[in-house]
Every structure is written in C-alpha cells, then in structure tokens.
C-alpha cells in the first residue's frame, strides 16, 4: 500500500505479530486514515506473512480494535518513506539505528517517550510472557492517543 499525503507513521517490534500491529490498529482508530498512513514492521523473519498473534487479537477484540495486518520486515526504504518510526524497545532501537542514516535517526524514537518523555522505557514483549498483554495494550493505547493528539494538532 502506498503512503498517503498526511503523516506516515511506522511501528516496529521484533516479530511484527504482537506489539507493532496492536499499535497500528490502535492508531488507525484514532486518526483519519484517508489522510494519514499507518503501518507496522518487524526485525525478525520468523513470522513473515502471519496475522497478529492470537493473544494480540484477543486483547484488541476485547477493546473493540481489530488490527488488520500481515507481518513484514522493516526495509531500508521505510526509513526514508515514514515521517515517524516508533520502536517498542531498546533492542529494536539499536537495530533500526544500525540501518538509519544520521538524518533518519531524528524520526526514530521509543514509542513510550510519547507518554513518558525522555524516560526511554520499553514496551514489554508479551510473546513469551502472555500475562502482561493487558499492560501492553494499556501502554500502547496511551502512546497512540498521544501520537494521535499530535497528528490531529499538526504537531508531529
């Protein structure tokens, strides 16, 4: 799918089946997707082409959010295409930094810095710890609300 004329936002996590598709689905509910474009990508090839994991779908459905997504890898071209790239944790941040030019690094940040500026907190990975999925949802809901507010004010 081609990016649109508004803001282009990308969420990145390791496998692209839990956190980043959840964030994508949440943000898509909060902004005008006829103007803005939201996507998600991963850094690991193990789940390519798969939909979000059952755990993510279950918690999202519980809150009325249905992420429509198929796992894909982060591409170097994404670093040029997207206006903002939000990563879920420090491992993702380091991987993206290795791919990015110095100019592109200005658009990359930890997603929770939108809620907790400068605290550089990780969104925990629920893949191996399913008991934290509700916490992950709450964190990403708050972060995507903050991002949506900035988009809607034209401040991103």
Which residues are known to be catalytic? 13, 19, 125
Can you read off the two tokens belonging to residue 42?
């991963």
Directed axis angle between helix 133-153 and helix 54-62, to 10°? 60
Nearest to 27 by CA among 7, 1, 4, 53: 7
42, β-bridge pairs: 13, 73
Tokens 């809607």, residue located: 152
DSSP 44: -
Distance in angstroms (rounded) separating the CA atoms of residues 156 and 147? 8
Distance in angstroms (rounded) separating the CA atoms of residues 34 and 141? 21
């Amino acid at each position: 799918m081609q990016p649109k004329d508004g803001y282009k936002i990308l969420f990145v996590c390791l496998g692209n089946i839990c956190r980043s598709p959840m964030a994508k689905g949440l943000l898509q509910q909060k902004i005008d997707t006829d103007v803005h474009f939201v996507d998600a990508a991963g850094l690991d090839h193990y789940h390519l082409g798969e939909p979000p994991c059952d755990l993510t779908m279950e918690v999202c459905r519980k809150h009325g959010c249905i992420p429509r997504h198929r796992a894909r890898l982060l591409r170097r071209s994404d670093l040029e295409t997207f206006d903002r790239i939000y990563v879920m944790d420090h491992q993702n941040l380091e991987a993206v930094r290795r791919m990015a030019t110095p100019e592109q690094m200005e658009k990359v940040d930890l997603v929770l810095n939108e809620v907790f500026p400068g605290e550089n907190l990780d969104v925990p990975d629920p893949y191996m710890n399913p008991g934290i999925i509700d916490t992950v949802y709450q964190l990403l809901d708050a972060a995507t609300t903050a991002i949506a507010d900035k988009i809607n004010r034209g401040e991103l």
